[in-house]
Amino acid sequence: MSRIIVITSGKGGVGKTTTTANLGMALAKRHHKVAVIDADFGLRNLDLLLGLENRVVYTAVDVLAGQCRLEQALVKDKRHPNLVLLPAAQNRTKDAVKPDQMKKLAMALTKVYEYVLVDCPAGIESGFQNAIAAAQEALIVTTPEIAAVRDADRVIGLLEANGIRKIHLIVNRIRPAMVQANDMMSIEDVKEILAVPLIGVVPDDEKVIVSTNKGEPLVIAETPSMAGTALNNIARRLEGEKVDFLDLTPTNDGFFSKLKKVLNTKLF
């Protein structure tokens, strides 16, 4: 049975699109047929993160207007043919599409694809309503900041009010050293506030920026990264696999710590 999952947050800039691109690629790499939908009309970015921006010909709006078939609008990823993108239109506002139309598109994709991942725009207005219209499940992405967590809490309430009960939490850009110094909310703090099951913790990683600029998801990057491993693990958990969370205990590998180790070695 196909699964329609919306990736949302409320607050912008917390990593929804990065999460969607990487989970889509990770699931495709694991031999699932995956369609990712960019529901951010007017400000699409999912094509950029997947490195598919030069191959977009038609968009979801063109399909709804009858200017092309759904199959013609789907952009196939040459690296993993199991993955396709349904791009949003850049020259239309979020009001150009209605929730029932988005639901029709998503349901049509479930006839072919095992996973349909919907990248939700920021906010809780019409774009949000479009993105959740067909969803059976939701992944809430938040960073461990009070504003992001508060917005995520509001979105969880809206999802439940719209009948979406299967909700999981992804805490993104965690910095263990800051958590240890009490300068950042801990995973437990976020879990306690939001009260939904945790499915992933992604550490802050500079390689995310490199990945975004290259249009190459971290989950297929040649150089392994903690964030890429964490995102691959989320995909495995979505499949139902039990995977331990990464050990994100901060390490004391600074200059003075290394010097202290050298001195201790010489003394003893």
Environment class of 195 (CB within 10 Å of its CB; exposed 0-12, middle 13-18, buried 19+) = exposed
Rounded to an integer, what distance in angstroms lies between the CA atom of residue 247 and that of residue 134?
Answer: 35
SS (H, E, C) 251-264: CCCCHHHHHHHHHH
Phi first, then psi: what are they for 74, rounded to 5°? Answer: -75, 125
> Burial letters for 119-147: b for 16+ Cβ neighbours within 10 Å, e otherwise?
bbbbebebbbbbbbbbbbbbbbbbbbeee
User: What mean pLDDT is predicted for residues 168-194?
Assistant: 97
The string of pLDDT tens digits covering residues 31-72 is: 999 999 999 988 899 999 999 999 999 999 999 999 999 999
Cα separation, 152 vs 196, whole angstroms = 11
Whether 256 has a pLDDT exceeding 50, the answer reads no
Q: Tell me the whole-structure pTM to 2 decimals.
A: 0.92
What's residue 260's pLDDT?
47
Distance of alpha carbon 183 from alpha carbon 202, whole angstroms:
18
- Identity at 139, one-letter amino acid code: L
Q: Who contacts 215 (Cβ-Cβ below 8 Å, separation ≥6)? A: 48, 49, 50, 51, 52, 53
Query: Which of 87, 66, 63 has the alpha carbon at shortest distance from 75?
Result: 87
Residues 197/237, Cβ–Cβ less than 8 Å: no
Q: Under 8 Å CB-to-CB from 256, ≥6 apart: which residues?
A: none
Q: Determine the average pLDDT of the residues in 125-137.
A: 95
The answer to whether residue 262 scores a pLDDT higher than 70 is no
For 68-95, what is the mean pLDDT? 90
As a whole number of angstroms, the distance between CA 263 and CA 223 comes to 34
Rounded-to-integer distance, Cα 57 and Cα 55, Å? 6
Q: Is 31 left (phi over 0), alpha (psi -120 to 50) or beta?
A: left
What is the arithmetic mean of pLDDT over 195-215?
95
Spatial contact of 199 and 190, defined as CB atoms under 8 Å apart: no
Task: Give the C-alpha separation, 155 to 24, whole Å.
Answer: 22
